[in-house]
Amino acid sequence: MGPTSDDLDGLLDRSAPRTTVMTDSVADELTQLRVATSVETARVTARRPWRRPVFAGLASVLLLGGAATATAAVTNSWVPWAQTPVASMAYTLPSGVECEERIGNIRGQDPAAVEAVKNFYRTTDIESLLTKEKIASTIEWIRQDSNIAVNADGSTEPAGYGTVHYNADEEYQRAVTMIVTAAVSAELANQGIDGADSNLSSDGQSFCPGASW
Amino acid sequence: MRARNNNSSERLTEALAAASPDLLRYFQRRLPIDDAADGLAELMLAAWRRVDSTPPGAEQCRMWLFGIARHVVTNAARSERRRWTLTERFREVLRTSPTEGRPADDGADVRDAIGRLTPAQAELVRLIHWDGFAITEAAQILSISPSTARTRYQRARADLKTALSDLTPEVTGHLPMTVVGTSAGDPSCTTAPSIPHRTIRPADVILPPSQRIDISAYPV
């Protein structure tokens, strides 16, 4: 025989997991979080304008190169460091355009960290990181992120998937960058490099003839 | 371009101030202890991004916020939880703050039984019995009709009654016991170090150095 209706209500009511007592400290943190999130979203919408809409993710501060034009995209003009890259990879955008991306200009204050990054790129089959599943999950993450278009006059409007500003090629390339960068960071973590070198960075340059960003 | 509407901002500020404690509990009842602060941060960020959609009326605002909270939890189940920098201190405060409710092991069988319901049924039961919503309010949060909610709830109760038939209720007919203690959260959460990486396109596109990619929150 099962519990009576009253018994069942009691069992269900009492099964709620424990929660935090609303102390003054917790209440203060709630207030600060409310203010911080308000400021954070306002800050995103105030980012500097670009010549055409620029898409800024909230957690990932990735500004896509809005100044690139179709003409520039078909001009194979590698910047100096990209003429001797540490690594390169090829991928196909949703539009069918083939991209070559070169990675290099790795720099930072911690020589060990810089060497670790270089070594990662030299020894890793980067294209093998770009599986369909990983691309799909990363794109899903991107679509959940904040995307705001900043117009030339500084005004903003929603951007990203489902808006007039959506560009599948841009989204795909952003996913590629995120996957590769995250893999580098994971490798650094594995090596116990704690990321204290805030100037550790690398650059990438892509050549996607025919792409219309 | 739509500027942030002052009236909307005020409504959202008031709604968040009023509902934040309950929203925090909502996340604590559904997410691992260290994830509740981040869940709440995601909810607040999402709400501020849609500030112009803030409904009129305090109660409508509250329902709207819980609807967003539900989506945050649903998304959390599909992907790794993001760690927001702005919640670091909040997580620490929550780890060391006293908690209330039944002892953690108490009700585990019931929670398991709820977890074996369909996700839609389970969330309906949680909203009603854990968060204290009326069935019509729960229906609104779940974006279903009240009649659908009632049917779904009755089925859930029938399933739970069967699943819990071996459990003898230890106490009935009085308010839930409250136990105050300190949570035992794991303070050792780590975030992989990040390396900023910029991607530029040919020709004249050079990103300013300050515009780096913080990948610490990527789901990889």
- Kindly provide the ipTM of the predicted complex, given to two decimals: 0.71
Provide the pLDDT for residue A207: 82
Among B86, B206, B213, which would you mutate to test the A interface (most chain A Cβ atoms within 10 Å of its Cβ)? Answer: B213
Among B96, B126, B155, identify where a domain stops.
Answer: B96
Tell me whether A13 touches chain B (CB under 8 Å): yes
| Pairwise pLDDT comparison (B9 vs A15), residue with the higher score | A15
List, in order, residues 6 or more apart from A61 with CB less than 8 Å away. Answer: B211, B212, B213, B214
At B19, phi and psi to the nearest 5?
-95, -10
Q: Please judge whether A15 and B86 are an interchain contact, meaning their C-beta atoms are less than 8 angstroms apart.
A: no
Among A4, A5, A7, A20, which would you mutate to test the B interface (most chain B Cβ atoms within 10 Å of its Cβ)? Answer: A20
Kindly report the nearest CA distance between residue A9 and chain B, in angstroms.
8
Provide the pLDDT for residue B196: 47
Host domain of residue B82: 1-96
* Whether residue B3 is found in the same domain as residue B24: yes
* Whether residue B62 is found in the same domain as residue B107: no
Q: Does a structural domain hold residue B146? A: yes
Of B141, B146, B153, give the one whose Cα is nearest residue B59. Answer: B141
* Whether residue B176 is found in the same domain as residue B115: yes
d(CA B15, CA A76): 53
User: Can you give the residue ranges of every domain in chain A?
Assistant: 47-207
Task: Choose the closest CB to A203 out of B176, B198, B215.
Answer: B198
Among B46, B78, B96, identify where a domain stops.
Answer: B96
d(CA A144, CA B80): 13
* Whether residue B92 is found in the same domain as residue B103: no
Alpha carbon distances (Å) from B185 to A22, B109, B114, B173, B188? 17, 22, 24, 32, 9
CATH (domain of B85): 1.10.1740
- Residue A161 sits at the vertex; the CA angle it makes with B38 and A140, to the nearest 5 degrees, is 50
Q: Does a structural domain hold residue B69? A: yes
> Within its chain, how far is the Cα of A172 from the centroid?
11
Q: Does a structural domain hold residue B34? A: yes
* Whether residue B133 is found in the same domain as residue B175: yes
Q: Does a structural domain hold residue B200? A: no
Q: Please judge whether A11 and B167 are an interchain contact, meaning their C-beta atoms are less than 8 angstroms apart.
A: yes
Q: Does a structural domain hold residue B197? A: no
pTM summary value: 0.51
User: How would you write A23-72 as a 3-class SS string?
Assistant: CHHHHHHHHHHHHHHHHHHHHHHCCCCCCCCEEECCCCCCCCCCCCCHHH
Q: Does a structural domain hold residue B194? A: no
| Per-residue pLDDT at A149 exceeds 70 | no
Q: Please judge whether A38 and B86 are an interchain contact, meaning their C-beta atoms are less than 8 angstroms apart.
A: no
Q: Please judge whether B28 and A19 are an interchain contact, meaning their C-beta atoms are less than 8 angstroms apart.
A: yes
Q: What residue type is B134 in one-letter code?
A: A
At A203, phi and psi to the nearest 5?
-120, 160
| Per-residue pLDDT at A105 exceeds 90 | no
CATH (domain of B116): 1.10.10.10
* Whether residue B18 is found in the same domain as residue B39: yes
How many domains does the structure of chain B reveal? 2
Among B96, B126, B144, identify where a domain stops.
Answer: B96
> Within its chain, how far is the Cα of A168 from the centroid?
15
Q: Does a structural domain hold residue B216? A: no
Residue B163's beta-bridge partner residues? none
Tell me whether A135 touches chain B (CB under 8 Å): no
Summarised one tens digit per residue, pLDDT across range A23-78 is 998 998 898 888 888 877 764 443 323 222 233 332 222 222 222 222 223 344 67
Q: Please judge whether A15 and B107 are an interchain contact, meaning their C-beta atoms are less than 8 angstroms apart.
A: yes
Encoding tokens for residue A76? Answer: 């194979």
Task: Choose the closest CB to B110 out of A11, A37, A69.
Answer: A11
Q: Does a structural domain hold residue B208? A: no
Could you read off the pLDDT tens digit of each residue along chain B, which spans 220 residues?
344 555 788 889 999 999 999 999 999 999 988 889 989 998 998 898 888 888 988 999 999 999 999 988 887 665 555 566 678 889 889 999 998 887 767 788 999 999 999 999 999 999 999 999 999 999 999 989 999 999 999 999 999 999 988 654 433 332 333 333 333 333 333 333 344 444 444 332 332 222 333 333 344 3
